């Protein structure tokens, strides 16, 4: 019943550029590719990189095969000239580009083989596997001193996954985090069928130390991992998606793998929480991660009652030494909340995407919320993104700011159907301690674009901010829009 967040990822003759920077530090791994500061550092130069899905990019004559473009970070942030384009036709990457695969619908990263370089994880939930339509696949592309040039491998579903079902959409959500404290990240992959869990480290064949399928909750469309109790280990939250009796989407805390005792380790429901996608960050600066979830689809989009607040909403649950307790009531924000820019209207999809990061280096993580269904004046689905501020007392709408392509200083102009805010991302790409603001505009022109603005003590700097678009980044577009900017490492709702 859920609408597609963005038709996701990303190629007839495709020219693949593998332009990677040469740096003094590239000869030795940058230690810390699994830390928050440099989690996306694929080439080990100490700067976070930006993976961008273009799921509807063409590959030769193959429509909607999909691509991922990695823009390498530097002291001057990212640009389209320092990039690598990856498709299923790229040497060393498993699979073949096929129509409607949408390689790059989701992207994530972690140092899966513990070599000091982040690795790229790519979800292709629409890929046909054998005779099973939209069974889905997940690919890892290995990082190294020259960036993502080390080939890749398939992360296969656990034995028995999906019980032969089609349309599972394996890879529709991706998350990574160190759950057991051994320094190797665990990976969780969500789908319409069931969850799949992998314990690191991974070998270069894509094989994890162990794995298991988790069908106890059925659909597990969203998954979030992060440390909410300060013990240095990630917790996992399952966001199963809208259910017949809960359109807002129940949220569960993982309680361990399935056992022979069916009820043992059963995931713990957070009865007051809702969400279809989410991310963890320390919003109130107390040292504990906080869970932010988005519920974008309201009654008008679900064609039912009991869905999100009109126009969509986000929720915040705060971590503590006890983690996130079952009695906690979430803090809720929507466009009818005092101080939040805009007005709640049917179909705005506020919360369709979200990202958590500190844009002004004040020690409190901020939250950027995408609302791609928002009208700008009479321009339907032109889209907007809203920045809410972290503080010692938690997330606040004080000094909240909204951005559209009609905002002074933002390049371009708002147009009907652009979907500005379909995906959003906060990440420090130039290593100045302040997160850049990145907003996907996947239906801008024929290829799709990203808006990027550097951070500052007062927030995103609009002067000199840039639009980076898919064709200039190396994707190919035929009769279907390329949807460059439809996926970033921060979550968006996908079906």
Distance from C-alpha of 90 to C-alpha of 72, rounded to nearest angstrom: 18
CB neighbours of residue 420 within 10 Å:
33
Q: What is the pLDDT of residue 35?
A: 61
The token pair at 447 is: 């290829």
Ramachandran category for residue 416: left, alpha or beta (phi over 0 → left; psi -120 to 50 → alpha): beta
Provide the b/e sequence for 366-390 (b: ≥16 CB within 10 Å). bbbbbbbbbbbeebebbbbbbbbbb
pLDDT of residue 34: 56
DSSP notation for 212-267: EEE-TTS-B-EEEEE-SSSSSS-EEEEE---BTTBTT--EEE------SSTTTTPP
What pLDDT score does 149 carry? Answer: 87
Distance CA 391, CA 88 (A): 43
The DSSP bridge partners found for residue 463 are none
Each residue's pLDDT tens digit in the chain (495 positions)? 333 333 333 222 222 323 333 333 333 444 445 565 557 999 999 999 999 999 999 999 999 999 999 999 999 999 999 999 999 999 999 999 999 999 999 999 999 999 889 999 999 999 999 888 899 999 999 999 999 988 999 999 999 998 878 899 999 999 999 999 888 899 999 999 999 999 999 999 999 999 999 999 988 989 999 999 999 999 999 999 998 889 999 999 999 999 989 889 999 999 999 999 999 999 999 999 999 999 999 999 999 999 999 999 999 999 999 999 999 999 999 999 999 999 999 999 999 999 999 999 999 999 999 999 999 999 999 999 999 999 999 999 999 999 999 999 999 999 999 999 999 999 999 999 999 999 999 999 999 999 999 999 999 999 999 999 999 999 999 999 999 999 999 998 875
pLDDT for residue 26: 38
Half-sphere exposure (Cβ direction) of 271: Cα atoms closer than 13 Å: 2
Task: Look at residue 302 and give its three-state secondary structure.
Answer: helix
Q: Which residues lie below 8 Å from residue 27, measured CB to CB, with a gap of 6+?
A: 145
Q: Is 321 exposed, middle or buried (0-12, 13-18, 19+ CB in 10 A)?
A: exposed
Gap between the Cα atoms of 156 and 148, Å rounded: 20
Q: Distance (Å, rounded) from C-alpha 212 to C-alpha 195?
A: 9
- Looking at residue 298, the DSSP 8-state letter turns out to be B
Cα-trace Rg, the chain: 20
Show Cβ contacts of residue 421 under 8 Å, excluding neighbours closer than 6 positions: 352, 353, 369, 370, 371, 372, 374, 383, 384, 385, 439, 440, 441
């Amino acid at each position: 019943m859920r609408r597609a967040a963005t038709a996701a990822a990303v190629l007839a003759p495709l020219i693949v550029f593998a332009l990677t920077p040469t740096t003094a530090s590239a000869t030795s791994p940058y230690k810390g590719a699994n830390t928050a500061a440099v989690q996306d550092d694929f080439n080990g130069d100490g700067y976070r990189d930006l993976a961008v899905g273009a799921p509807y990019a063409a590959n030769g004559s193959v429509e909607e095969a999909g691509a991922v473009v990695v823009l390498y970070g530097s002291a001057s942030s990212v640009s389209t000239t320092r990039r690598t384009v990856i498709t299923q036709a790229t040497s060393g990457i498993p699979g073949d580009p096929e129509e409607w695969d949408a390689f790059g619908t989701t992207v994530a990263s972690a140092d899966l083989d513990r070599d000091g370089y982040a690795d790229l994880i790519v979800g292709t939930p629409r890929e046909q596997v054998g005779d099973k339509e939209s069974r889905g696949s997940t690919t890892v592309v290995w990082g190294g001193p020259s960036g993502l040039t080390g080939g890749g491998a398939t992360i296969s579903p656990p034995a028995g996954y999906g019980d032969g079902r089609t349309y599972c959409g394996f890879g529709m959500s991706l998350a990574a985090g160190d759950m057991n404290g051994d320094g190797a990240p665990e990976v969780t992959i969500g789908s319409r069928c069931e969850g799949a869990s992998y314990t690191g480290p991974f070998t270069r064949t894509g094989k994890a130390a162990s794995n298991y399928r988790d069908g106890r909750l059925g659909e597990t469309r969203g998954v979030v991992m992060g440390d909410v109790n300060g013990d240095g280990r990630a917790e996992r939250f399952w966001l199963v998606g809208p259910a017949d009796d809960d359109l807002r989407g129940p949220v569960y805390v993982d309680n361990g793998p399935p056992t022979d005792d069916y009820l043992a380790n059963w995931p713990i429901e957070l009865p007051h929480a809702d969400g279809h996608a989410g991310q963890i960050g320390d919003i109130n600066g107390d040292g504990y991660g906080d869970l932010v979830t988005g519920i974008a689809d309201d009654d008008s989009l679900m064609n039912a009652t009991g869905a999100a607040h009109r126009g969509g909403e986000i929720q915040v649950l705060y971590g503590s030494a006890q983690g996130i307790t079952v009695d906690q009531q979430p803090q809720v924000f929507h466009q009818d909340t005092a101080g939040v820019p805009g007005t709640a209207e049917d179909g705005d999809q506020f919360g369709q995407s979200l990202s958590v990061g500190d844009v002004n280096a004040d020690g409190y993580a901020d939250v950027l919320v995408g609302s791609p269904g928002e009208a700008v004046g009479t321009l339907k689905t032109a889209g907007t993104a809203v920045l809410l501020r972290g503080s010692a007392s938690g997330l606040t709408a004080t000094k909240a700011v909204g951005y559209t392509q009609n905002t002074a200083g933002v390049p371009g102009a708002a147009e009907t159907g652009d979907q500005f805010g379909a995906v959003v991302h906060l990440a420090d790409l130039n290593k100045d301690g302040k997160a850049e603001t990145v907003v996907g505009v996947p239906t801008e022109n024929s290829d799709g674009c990203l808006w990027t603005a550097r951070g500052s003590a007062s927030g995103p700097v609009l002067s000199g901010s840039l639009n980076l678009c898919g064709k200039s980044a190396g994707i190919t577009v035929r009769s279907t829009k390329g949807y460059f900017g439809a996926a970033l490492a921060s979550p968006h709702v996908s079906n």
